[in-house]
Amino acid sequence: MPHALATPPAKSPHALPSFLDPEHLGPWGIYLQQVDRVTPYLGSLSRWVETLKRPKRMLIVDVPIELDNGTMAHFEGYRVQHNTSRGPGKGGVRFHQDVTLSEVMALSAWMSVKNAAVSLPFGGAKGGIRVDPKTLSRGELERLTRRYTSEIGIIIGPNKDIPAPDVNTNEQIMAWMMDTYSMNEGATASGVVTGKPIALGGSLGRREATGRGVFTVGQEAAQHIGLDIGRAKIAVQGFGNVGGIAAKLFAQAGATLVAVQDHGGTIYQASGLDVPALLRHVSEHGSVKGFAPAETLPDDRFWGVDCDILIPAALEQQITAANAHQIQARMVIEGANGPTTPEADDILHERGILVVPDVIANAGGVTVSYFEWVQDFSSFFWSEDDINLRLVRIMREAFAAIWQVADEHRVSLRTATFIVACSRILQARELRGLYP
Ligand code: GLU
C-alpha cells in the first residue's frame, strides 16, 4: 500500500495538484465524486467540467492577534472563490478548530451549486479560520475577525465576493467585517457582507431563513412521498440557527420533535419535546444537555430513533456507512452542508429513504442573503412578509424543477440538483468564454 499522502501518478492531461486529487479523502474528495456522477448528464457542456473541479481562486492568510494576556497568537484563515461564472462569489465564513483548506474548498463548491440551484446571480465562495472561538474573549474575537477581514480584503467586496455567517459566526461578526472593510475603503459598504444586524442594513427574516427553507422543502418533499407533516415524528442533529428554527416550524405545523442531538449530548422524548422550552434551554445553557423532561440517550443511539424525518443540521460527514443502516426515517433533509458521505447516500437510496440534499435544502439562508444584498444596493427595505413569501416561492419553484429532473433521469435528488446547477454554471462559463 502506498502511503496515503503520496502523490499518485498523473492520470489525465489535466494533472491536478495533489490537494485537488479525487483520491484525497475528505469533503473535497466527496464533492469531486458528486461532480463525476453528474458529468454524464451534462451533454456538450461536459467539455467545461474541469472548471468545476478546480476552485478559481484560493487565499490562505495568517491571522495574528494580540491576546488579552499580552502574548501573540497566529491563526490560519482561508477564503476560497470556487466559481464566479454566474456572478460574484457568495458564501459564509466559519470559525472552527477543525477547519481545513479542503473543507473550505468543498464548502465553496457547494455554494456554487446551491446558488445556481435556486437561480441566484452568484458564484460560490467560502471562508474560515481554524480556531475554536469559545476559547477567545469578545475582544480577541473582534481583533481576529477584523484582521482576517483586512487580510481577505484584497479579494472580497460587494461586487466581488460577499461573505455571510456560517458555523460559529453571527450578526456581530458580520458587523465587524462590514466595518473593517468599510474603514479600509473609506466609505460604508453595507453590501460587502450579509447576515448583518438589522440596524446596519441586515434583512428581516435572514436569521430564520435557512431553517424556513429546510421546512419549506420538507413540506414539498413530504407531499411527493405522501407523508403527513402534521403526524410526522422528527429528529434533529444540531439545534442552532438551522436545526432549532426548522424544528420550531415543523412543530408549529403539527409535527412531533422526538430527538435532538448536539455537541452536549442526545435527548429523547417519545411524546414530543416542548420546542419553545428547549430553544430557551439552549439559549441559556448552550446545548440541549440537561433538558429535564427528556431522557438522555447515548450519542450513537440517535441515528436509530423511531422517526419519519431526520434533519442533520450540524457539520459534515455525520451520516456514514457505519450508521446509515440504522436510520428509520422515510426522509432525510440536509440542513447542514455535506452531512452525508457518498457511501451513506447510496445505502439510503437503496433502502428507499429520500434524501433532500444540502444544495437545495439549506439554500434558504443564501436566498435571503441575496435579498439583503439587493436591499443594501437600493437602500430600500422590504417587509418580513414580503421576504418570506419570496423565499418560499423561490424554494418551491427550485424544488419542483429538481424533482422533475430526478424523475426524468431516474436519479437521486442530489444528482438532479447537480444536473440543474452545474448545467447553469457551465452554460454561463461557455457563454462568457475564456479570457484572454
Ligand atoms: N453559510 C450559509 C450557507 O452555507 C449562508 C451563506 C450566505 O448567506 O452567503 O448556505
Where in the chain are the domains?
54-189, 207-356
pLDDT tops 70 at residue 2: no
How would residue 26 be classed by pLDDT, with cut points 50, 70 and 90? confident
Q: Could you tell me the pLDDT band of residue 24, with boundaries at 50, 70 and 90?
A: low
Residue 115 · residue 122 · CB < 8 Å: yes
Q: What is the pLDDT of residue 194?
A: 98
d(Cα 339, Cα 337) in Å, to the nearest integer?
Answer: 6
**Residue-wise pLDDT tens digits, 187-235:** 999 999 999 999 999 999 999 999 999 999 999 999 999 999 999 999 9
Cα 297 to averaged position of ligand 1 atoms, centre (Å): 31
pLDDT band at 9 (very low <50, low <70, confident <90, very high): very low
pTM above 0.85, yes or no: yes
Beta bridge partners of 253: none
User: Which residues have C-beta within 8 Å of that of residue 327, sequence separation ≥ 6?
Assistant: 303, 304, 310, 319, 348, 351, 353
Kindly report the average pLDDT of the chain as a whole number: 94
Minimum-distance ligand 1 atom for the alpha carbon of 369: 8
**Which residue is closest in CA terms to ligand 1's atom 5?**
366
CA of 90 from ligand 1 middle (Å) equals 8
Question: Per residue in 247-281, pLDDT tens?
Answer: 999 999 999 999 999 999 999 999 999 999 999 99
Distance 280 CA to ligand 1 centre (A): 25
pLDDT score recorded for residue 189: 97
Decide if 54-189 and 207-356 have a common fold.
Answer: yes
pLDDT band at residue 124 using 50, 70 and 90 as cut-offs: very high
Helices assigned H by DSSP within 329-433: 342-350, 358-361, 364-378, 384-409, 413-432
- Domain at 207-356, CATH class: alpha beta
Determine whether 126 is an active site residue: yes
Distance in angstroms (rounded) separating the CA atoms of residues 359 and 357? 6
Relative to the CA of 114, which ligand 1 atom is closest?
10
Distance in angstroms (rounded) separating the CA atoms of residues 406 and 1: 39
Please, are residues 267 and 260 in contact by the beta-carbon 8 Å criterion? yes
State the pLDDT at residue 22: 52
**Whole-number pLDDT of residue 23:** 54
Contact between residue 234 and residue 255 where contact means Cβ atoms under 8 Å apart: yes
Q: What is the pLDDT of residue 5?
A: 42
* Residue 392, pLDDT above cutoff 80: yes
**Annotation: CATH topology of 54-189:** Rossmann fold (3.40.50)
Per-residue pLDDT, averaged over 309-321, amounts to 95
Residue 357: the pLDDT is 98
- Residues with Cβ within 8 Å of 247's Cβ and at least 6 positions away in sequence, in order, are 211, 234, 236, 239, 257, 260, 275, 278, 311
Catalytic residue among 11, 90, 114, 126: 126
- Ligand 1: residues with CB < 6 A are 90-92, 164, 166, 194, 337, 362, 365-366, 369
Q: Is the pLDDT of residue 163 over 70?
A: yes
Between 8-12, 133-137, 160-164, 175-179, the lowest mean confidence (pLDDT) is in 8-12
